[in-house]
Structures are given as structure tokens and as C-alpha cells.
Amino acid sequence: MTIELTLLAFSVGLGFVHIVVASHSASLQRGYRWSASSRDEPVELLHGVAGRLDRALRNFLETFPLFAAVVLAADASGRHNALTEWGAQLYFWGRVAYLPLYAAGIPLVRSLVWNVAAVGILLSLVALFWD
């Protein structure tokens, strides 16, 4: 398996980490009774760490499909080179760093790290068309 596909699989695992920490944090804030309910009634917005973890999850869910698409397209087209490898590395490690930075409420560094992950996606995209 290529490094790009390995990092894609690791990113799926990271997605589960996002889901678990965000949902657990929301349950701590809203109560486990709410978690076990049908959730038909509107609820207050999450705040503090729970809100940040929820927003980090939403952000992951926005970027992950783009990353998955370019990695799978590169694999299907047989394009594996330094750009695809660097792109996958930048995306994965950027996303790993992003979660605790967002949870801790560190704004500027968090945004820079988000850009690192975004550059990773773009590098992988460029690699699809680069001969």
C-alpha cells in the first residue's frame, strides 16, 4: 500500500477520534440524558471546548472528502511521486495538529496549521496533472 493510501486510512481513524471527542464533549455539556434522547427539541449551541471540538469536527468533515478524492484519484491513475507523498503527509499531520490547537483555543497557529493541511490537498491535486 502506498504512503498516500496509508495516510488516507489513518485519516479515517483521525475522523473517528474527532467524532468521539466532539460527541463526548457535547454529552458532558448537555448531559447524557440528552445524548440518549431523540433530540427532537432545539438545543443551545455548544460553547467552550465542546463548541471548539464540534467546529473542528465540522471542519474535518469539510476537508476530508477533498483529501480522499485526490488521494484516490492519484492512486487510480497510478500517479505516485514526491508531490502526492508530501501532500498526504502535510494533510494528515496538519489535521493531527489542528485538533488539539482548536480545542485549546489557539487562534493564529491553528489557522496556519489549517493552511498546511490545505496545501497538502492542493499538492496532491497538482500532482494529478503534473507530468
pLDDT given for residue 33 in this prediction? 79
Residue whose grid cell is 481513524: 13
Instruction: Tell me how many domains the chain contains.
Output: 1
- CATH for 81: 1.20.120.550
Provide the CA 39 distance to its chain's centre, in angstroms: 25
Q: How far is the CA of 61 from the CAs of 5, 11, 41, 45, 95, in angstroms?
A: 18, 11, 24, 19, 11
* Segments of the chain with pLDDT less than 50: none
pLDDT given for residue 91 in this prediction? 99
Q: Which domain holds residue 64?
A: 3-129
| Structure confidence by residue, pLDDT tens digits, 82-97 | 999 999 999 999 999 9
